[in-house]
Structure 1
């Protein structure tokens, strides 16, 4: 079990220490579940009431919150960032030794750095390049001529198809499929005729791609995911999409083909974007929003109606159907009012 003194953790993070510097910390936990050898944190005011009853040995919190807490504390301007940094001290993900497992299938033409890890029954096809300190977990598939930079991590049963390019420190989680065919078909002679997808997927440094997410290869040009993009589970990104640096995309989003998303955007859960539009930098799109045209101004955008009781929602739906008629009648009434006002004058 990993153990750290509170003083050591304060030094690691630059947080201000208050209390017992020699307290041994063996793990992290929530305010309500933490024990006397665990460290917790308060970042969201909604959980402030739990601070009074926590059993944590120490808590990471802001200076203004520390005034009402007499226990051991690490005081920081951004407690959540400190917590995030310390999670790596207690991470229990198994560490794998470099080398190629005996059951892995590796083409002789593949180039694998000696410091890389190739797990059981992984498949590495011809011409693939696996960079230093990469980890390819069991059952993963790396297609022909795929290139992985330094420190990439491809989790179990993820798939990266031919010619795709990953930069440094890219994480592909289990079940993700990178570089499969885009949804390209041409109607002719009463049938759908498949269009060969001859582009690639290019993922830049420090991107993190969630489990069971799919990123289609480009039809002609590449599908591009820029530096530091984070993508949640079960996201669909179609061919020739471009996602700008440090954008965050939450679960169940769907992005149609040839859409361009700027940098530092946030797409909340279930957002949908039609194809061939552009979203500028620093746009926040709230959950379940459907974006049907380009967004050219930074800010927050929403669509749809908030949930309500079924009876109220049905009433609202009826009113929405009558909106055109109501608008027309309102304009007629406005016209009559103007006529009466003119006569009175």
Structure 2
């Protein structure tokens, strides 16, 4: 259940969504909630048929839903073809975070004299901003965050607490960097001389496009020579690892614990499920969806849905199958011999 100090009327909500409604235009709306938990001054939404059972008994002031469910709604309804998108738009109205922003530089922040700031910037406690940094208008630098030398941060971008943006990084407009993420750490580059490892200096940077979000404790490594590039409107979940010189196309989304090895190129409008791994130096074309926990070791040149591995099963069955997996090569050879023998008869 959401709680916020924002007060709107039902008419305000409908106007914001550009939809018609039936009911009391002056009905106060003070938040959002689920169908089951909504109070008489909250808006609920129905975007998943699994929750249709809660519609008949909801106490919400109004429900945001698809027109096909409108006749079953016992309270005022806000009909949209994509109710989940409507919920996303309403959530922004009730988000209390922007109201807490205080423009200006906190006295405990350390900001180099050469830093250039646009209007309405907020630099919170104990942040560090190094020489040559450029901050656009209404940028928020959260408490304890660090921005390395010569980086550029676009308008209306927000760094939550304890974000690290390394030196020479370019971050676009309206980007959200969640706590603990690291943008521009060294890529994993080492040369082996037969006895030990020699570090390769990572000389590239990272470029994040506009409207990107990076989840908490995710890492996007700087390039070895060229830049690691994240396109516009890319959404990256928590605990994702993106290695040096990876590129990700516009509007792609990566769920938690995705790992992408160096120099792999992911196209536009791709979706990688939780725990997906991509090997290095691959090309993934536009419009590819890879389901959770899959390992991709070859390039993908046709859009579609791809999977690897096997789903969970009872351990007894899995152990039997594991034995059979080891026998597949011999079974294939035996089948080939039988086919040759059959054709020769």
Using the size of structure 2 for normalisation, the TM-score is 0.96
**Which of 83, 87, 100 in structure 2 is aligned with 1:79?**
83
**Which of 310, 317, 336 in structure 1 is aligned with 2:315?**
310
The question of whether the paired residues in 1 share the 8 Å contact of 2:273 and 2:292 is answered with yes
The question of whether the paired residues in 2 share the 8 Å contact of 1:99 and 1:114 is answered with no
Residue aligned with 2:55, SS: helix
Deviation at 1:307, TM superposition (A): 0.8
Deviation at 1:88, TM superposition (A): 1.1
The question of whether the paired residues in 2 share the 8 Å contact of 1:10 and 1:16 is answered with yes
> Does 1:66 find its partner at 2:67?
no
Give the Cα separation in 2 of the matches to 1:291 and 1:47: 35
1:182 aligns with: 187
- Which runs of 5 or more residues in structure 1 are unaligned? none
Q: How does 1:104-183 map to 2 (within 5 A)?
A: 104-183=109-188
1:3 aligns with: 7
Residue aligned with 2:21, SS: strand
Deviation at 1:133, TM superposition (A): 0.6
Deviation at 1:189, TM superposition (A): 5.3
> Does 1:254 find its partner at 2:259?
yes
Q: How does 1:1-345 map to 2 (within 5 A)?
A: 1-93=5-97, 94-188=99-193, 190-339=195-344, 342=345
Residue aligned with 2:100, SS: coil
Give the Cα separation in 2 of the matches to 1:117 and 1:2: 22
Give the Cα separation in 2 of the matches to 1:60 and 1:261: 35
Deviation at 1:330, TM superposition (A): 2.3
Give the Cα separation in 1 of the matches to 2:36 and 2:235: 29
- Which runs of 5 or more residues in structure 2 are unaligned? none
The question of whether the paired residues in 2 share the 8 Å contact of 1:16 and 1:76 is answered with no
Deviation at 1:22, TM superposition (A): 2.7
Q: Deviations over 1:230-280 (max 9, x none)?
A: 100000000000010111011100000000000010001000000000000
Residue aligned with 1:17, SS: coil
Q: Which moved more, 1:165-174 or 1:248-257?
A: 165-174
Residue aligned with 1:52, SS: coil
Give the Cα separation in 2 of the matches to 1:334 and 1:195: 53
The question of whether the paired residues in 1 share the 8 Å contact of 2:56 and 2:74 is answered with no
Give the Cα separation in 2 of the matches to 1:209 and 1:79: 25
Residue aligned with 1:53, SS: coil
- Matched residue count: 340
